[in-house]
Chain A
């Protein structure tokens, strides 16, 4: 176990609501670390629809989703929040009153007095193709990511998909594979044209087999893949002998490990909270944004912002149990303005 990172607050999820929580907590002198499974900051806004418009942020008649994320990052710049991307929180343990130990899938350990779950729709995970009987192969010979290229040396590899991941891995793994087959449902590829060109050249040289169709079945035993059956677009069936299959069908949101942290979930999906501080049934653990539920809940970014502000007021008492919290406005408080790094406005 690595040395724990000690901080006031750990926020799970670096979407807009998690980012604004940094602001509200920062104004009250609480330091934050944010953990997100994505490789970038911004949650759904950055991953699913960065260029799409948002019209319902108060005082911002129009912004793009990425524009909102960028503006929030600017707004919280002075609070020096630390980001831990491409990491998923696996375990949450209560070790004090309140004190939590948080462990990620990369083995990183955090200790914090306050935990804020701002995980939106859950974690983004690779989509599993609905191929009957795929489960026993997953993690053995069917992989949704390439951790070590060496593991694929001299293997017969089947890559499925037509985007950048599928094409990039086709190009990267081809030199060390014994045989590489790329299977995609149509002859157009949405991957970068340069990669498609390189792949096509490899097909022409006979170094990559391209099959247009969809995988319908797998054959093998004890998690070891022997062949995949592909239904071609003309209806013909083809078998591709392979030792490993890499399907790249993008990401989907799953609640993930949150389901195992002992909360009694609403509809198996949402964490119930009170509406005074958006605290869960465990004192010191808050849930804000799309992942929480309370009577009247609306899944709006602005609701998540409000929830973060009230959460911070209560979180303060866990971090600074002996201090009195004086409510202040950023418009008039010189101490808040100092924290924000803006020059006090002369009056």
Chain B
């Protein structure tokens, strides 16, 4: 298990445990973290699990793949740190990961 922290727009931080091999989106849904909708269930077919990766973690998390970039076009207020959380696999390497949820998903 690794720890992942989600911070909402009000600044409230929620730290939950994620299973290695699952995704950051699944970790949020399993733990009832608000601000992540995941309308398509993790198929990289919508953009409602949009998160901003905290600066310190961007290199470790990496850049979105082209298909994910295409889906990010449907998200709002996309920033260079934007990712779809269903496309981020939880690894030991990401223990302590912090992401921010956007004001609105869709």
Q: Which residues of A contact B (CB under 8 A)?
A: 44, 48-49, 52, 121, 127, 129-130, 161-163, 184-186, 188, 190, 214, 249-250, 252-253
With an 8 A cutoff between CB atoms, is B63 at the interface? no
Complex Cα distance A214/B78, Å?
Answer: 8
Q: How many residues of B contact A (CB 8 A)?
A: 20
How many residue pairs link A and B with beta carbons under 8 A? The number is: 50
With an 8 A cutoff between CB atoms, is B106 at the interface? yes
Which of B39, B41, B45, B69 touches A186 (beta carbons < 8 Å)? B69
Sample 21 A-B pairs with CB under 8 A, ordered by A number: A44-B40, A48-B39, A48-B45, A49-B45, A52-B43, A121-B39, A127-B74, A127-B106, A129-B76, A130-B77, A130-B103, A130-B104, A162-B73, A163-B70, A188-B66, A190-B69, A214-B77, A214-B78, A250-B74, A252-B46, A252-B48
The A interface, classified by DSSP as helix, strand, loop or mixed, is loop
User: Which residues of chain B in 71-106 are interfacial with respect to chain A, using CB atoms and an 8 Å cutoff?
Assistant: 72-74, 76-78, 103-104, 106
Q: Which residue from chain A places its CB closest to the CB of B103 in the assembled complex?
A: A130
Q: Which residue from chain B places its CB closest to the CB of A47 in the assembled complex?
A: B45
Asked if residues B39 and A253 are in contact (CB atoms below 8 Å), the reply is yes
Q: Which residues of B contact A (CB under 8 A)?
A: 39-41, 43, 45-48, 66, 69-70, 72-74, 76-78, 103-104, 106
Residues of the B chain whose Cβ atoms lie less than 8 Å from the Cβ of A49: 40-41, 43, 45
Complex Cα distance A326/B103, Å?
Answer: 56
Complex Cα distance A211/B70, Å?
Answer: 18
Residues of the A chain whose Cβ atoms lie less than 8 Å from the Cβ of B104: 130
A163/B73 contact (C-beta < 8 A), A121-B39, A185-B78 known? yes
Cβ distance A100 to chain B, nearest Cβ, rounded Å: 30
Asked if residues B78 and A52 are in contact (CB atoms below 8 Å), the reply is no
Cβ distance A253 to chain B, nearest Cβ, rounded Å: 6
Residues of the A chain whose Cβ atoms lie less than 8 Å from the Cβ of B41: 49
Complex Cα distance A49/B86, Å?
Answer: 14
Residues of the A chain whose Cβ atoms lie less than 8 Å from the Cβ of B40: 44, 48-49
Residues of the A chain whose Cβ atoms lie less than 8 Å from the Cβ of B69: 186, 188, 190
